[in-house]
Amino acid sequence: MATLAPALPIAAPRAAPRAVAGWLFGVAALVFAMVVVGGITRLTESGLSIVRWDVVSGTLPPLTDAAWQAEFAAYQQSSQYQLMNRGMSLDEFKGIFFWEYVHRLLGRLIGLAFALPLAWFWLKGRIPAGYKPRLLALLALGALQGTIGWWMVSSGLVGRTEVAHTRLAVHLTTALTIIAGLLWTALDLTAGKSKAPPARWVLPLAALLTVQIVWGAFTAGLRAGHASNTWPLMAGQLVPDGLSLALAGLTADPFTVHFLHRSLAIAVALATLLVAAHIWQRGARPQTAALAAAVSAQFVLGVATVLSGVALPLGVAHQGMAALLVASTVWAAHSSRRRV
């Protein structure tokens, strides 16, 4: 009587932490590109050129003359056109439409670049234990960011020529938070988690950097960068007259917001360089170099942006470097947990 051969055991799916980390680093790079394009969109006054939020149908740009005319007619009903761009030609409209369209298209691309590989890694059992809730949280945060983007745009469609600067701050801060979350998770996957508490410098520096980013967004949203084109003096003084010390002034007066942003820049630079010196002594040499280079470049770009009267290339570089400064801070902070 023939005997059946014993069944071979089915191998359990193997986690692939480095593959998952590589994917997250790639998504972080896409979000960085989104931040840069967002800076261009803001500085070219392009963000209000698309007055509808069509998640699916808005994927394709206008492809016919009639479609362009319809898109332009919709924009002509907006306050920005009525109050600031009345008489704009269709070709000029196409110029500002381009950057907002690219910005939204990148958002859709990032969503797919995160959701589809996440589903694949999940179904194949490649996600290491304990990481699924975190990845789902990042997916939810990305979806929320799309909603925040429309919430921001909608604030500028009626009675204004620009979006609300507070909503712009929420939008930018969320984007940088997503970058930080992606990088921290990827570093956990490659370097390993640590139960050690953060180094003492991490939370104070993160808080200071967050405040500076928020006031940077206020500066962009209020066009406060044009309040002065001199440095280190502002209106001929280190501490100029005319500052508004009321809460509304600290957050909404362009002159005061500009002064706070440039003053906070000095505090951020000094604090970050002190942290860099500290982690250098602990042997974190690559992290030290990245952190010191990023904050130094950001400070120089900030001054150059002011002196140039907010020239577009410098303003965009300044926003992009803010994202790189966040990334280098995350890298240093993650390293500190393993060195405490």
Tokens representing 63 are 């492809």
Pair of tokens at residue 300: 């120089």
Return the structure tokens found at 292. Answer: 């010191």
Instruction: Name the one residue in this structure whose structure tokens are 């904050």.
Output: 295
Q: What is the pLDDT of residue 338?
A: 58
Instruction: Decide if 43 contacts 326 (C-beta within 8 A).
Output: no
CB 42 within 8 A of CB 220: yes
Bridge partners for 237 per DSSP:
234
**Among 271, 279, 314, which Cα is nearest to 295's?**
271
Is residue 279 within 8 Å of 332, Cβ to Cβ? yes
DSSP secondary structure code for residue 157 in this structure: S
Residue among 197, 275, 262 at smallest CA distance from 225: 262
Residues of the chain with pLDDT under 50: 1, 8-12, 339-340
The pTM of the full predicted model, rounded to 2 decimals, is: 0.92
How much is the pLDDT for 223? 95
Task: Report DSSP state, residue 225.
Answer: G
Q: Is the dihedral of CA 112, 116, 117, 118 positive or negative?
A: positive
Residue 195 DSSP label: -
